[in-house]
Amino acid sequence: MADLALMSATEAMAALQQGKVSSVELTQACLDRIEKYNSLVNAFIRIEADEALATAAQLDKERQSGKVRSPIHGLVLAHKDMFDRPGKVSTGGTKILRDRVATRTATVLQRFDEAGAVDLGGLNMSEFAAGPTGHNIHYGDCCNAFNPDYVSGGSSSGSGAAVAARLVFGALGSDTGGSIRLPAGMNGLCGLKATYGRISRHGAMARSWSLDHIGPLGRSARDVALMYQAVAGEDPCDPSTLGQPEVGAIDFESASIKGLRIGVPVEKDLETVDVEVQQALQASYRVLEQLGAKLVPVKLPDFRSIYFLAETIIKSEAASMHHDWLKERPQDYSANVRVRIEAGLAIPAAAYIDALRMRTHLTASFIRDTMGEVDVLLLPNMPITVPRRDEANPESLAAGEKVLALVGRITQFTRPISFLGLPSLTVPCGFDQKGLSIAFQIVGRPFAENTLLVAADQFQQVTDYHRQAPSLVSQSS
């Protein structure tokens, strides 16, 4: 029998609906693949096989009796290890939370439960969601699914590696400065950072409450849409979600991007982008034009100043949340994460308040001035190709200004979009000379997620970058 885990989420759901496979069979296929390949990527912190199989068996019984809860009834998922479930530990990728047992259910997990998804366990992540590379001294580094010598991206590192390695069909991550989009792009996946407040954060470990976003990673835009529509919407437990429009269904089959105005940065705004990434972007432009989209040159605002405003908010809020632990358990942090959080203690309150105040103004001006003549904006997901793990290790003896500069470059185009709170979808668009994924991100106006998903799906109907599976053979062996 073919490896069922190699199907996309969309294909798996079609097979379930047609009675060709069961949820138990899909779950077992994922577990078999985890046993075989997880050691190469180190994507899981916690695997709950027995509970997952029992859930899958119950869901199969329901389907047989004619009860189908939702379009993802029986789909096998796993999630970044930062979402609460009563009686379970969600580690947040840190030693400090290793023994904290949750007493509530994260809204996103509750919604997946109600929709009939199977939860296989907790996925690896950067400690306290603080890092774009996937290094973790407590649970081991997470590795890129296409080449374990390279970074998987972070902080949703396990989510990216697990979905790319075909260990699960999809996963949730969180994004404060790029932590969904970076691991998605580095592992050849789609990753959606929805509009700020579109998806509830209740029961999710916070990194920065003003900038945190929750969202799905999948192998295609359609896979992402399945998960997004299951969890998005208002939640009384999270006031930031209130007052938003309905999510709405997407008719992918009749959709088109003919006439869609896509903003592309002027040449000067891409000067810091590596040649291989620029070449992949240019090839993507041609594909989108062939699909009928209209490309419109746009000048970006000063992303560097927006980047540092986001940094002010993140560090200030993290320092506030971690204040007691920094005094009582400083030795339990990795050195890099502790230093970054402690830096927030030195930021003046006035600087933090100014950054929050500027957010509303800058978002309004970005929508008005940068996106005024376009429907969506196409940006690099990352200006560089995927770096090696040893070169990007923030805990190495050689770590210093060079690593800090590398981290800054990795998040150059993602962090400003998180600050602005706009929806953004990562889409794989090529491979570099080392065989590692290159991606772009599509940015939209608030609550325009469906537009982004349609544009990505149209691109994926005529390209196959998202269908390329990693060989999972260690390049260093």
pLDDT at residue number 472: 82
Tell me if 384 is assigned to some domain: yes
The CATH number of whichever domain residue 129 belongs to comes to: 3.90.1300.10
Amino acid at 137: I
CA dihedral 238, 239, 240, 246 (to 10 degrees): 90
362's torsion region: left (phi>0), alpha (psi -120 to 50) or beta? alpha
pLDDT at residue number 7: 97
**Residue 425 contacts by C-beta under 8 Å, 6 or more apart in sequence?**
181, 190, 191, 192, 193, 221, 224, 441, 442, 449, 452, 453, 456
Tell me if 206 is assigned to some domain: yes
pLDDT at residue number 476: 40
Catalytic residue flag (residue 80): yes
Separation CA 222–CA 225 (nearest Å) = 5
Separation CA 343–CA 356 (nearest Å) = 18
Is this structure's pTM higher than 0.85?
yes
Given 8, 23, 80, 88, which residue is catalytic? 80
Tell me if 270 is assigned to some domain: yes
Separation CA 454–CA 250 (nearest Å) = 8
Amino acid at 108: V
Tell me if 326 is assigned to some domain: no
pLDDT at residue number 142: 98
Tell me if 112 is assigned to some domain: yes
Digitized pLDDT (tens) for each residue of the chain, 477 residues in all: 689 999 999 999 999 999 999 999 999 999 999 999 999 999 999 999 999 999 999 999 999 999 999 999 999 999 999 999 999 999 999 999 999 999 999 999 999 999 999 999 999 999 999 999 999 999 999 999 999 999 999 999 999 999 999 999 999 999 999 999 999 999 999 999 999 999 999 999 999 999 999 999 999 999 999 999 999 999 999 999 999 999 999 999 999 999 999 999 999 999 999 999 999 999 999 999 999 999 999 999 999 999 999 999 999 999 999 999 999 999 999 999 999 999 999 999 999 999 999 999 999 999 999 999 999 999 999 999 999 999 999 887 666 788 888 989 999 999 999 999 999 999 999 999 999 999 999 999 999 999 999 999 999 999 999 999 999 854 443
Tell me if 220 is assigned to some domain: yes
Number of domains in the chain: 1
The CB density around residue 50, as the number of other CB atoms within 10 Å, is 8
Catalytic residue flag (residue 95): no
Say if CB 403 and CB 393 are below 8 A apart.
Answer: yes
Q: Find the radius of gyration of the CA atoms of the chain.
A: 21
Domain hosting 195: range is 4-306+336-467
Tell me if 53 is assigned to some domain: yes
Tell me if 472 is assigned to some domain: no
Amino acid at 161: A
Catalytic residue flag (residue 155): yes
Given 8, 22, 155, 240, which residue is catalytic? 155
Given 152, 179, 334, 424, which residue is catalytic? 179
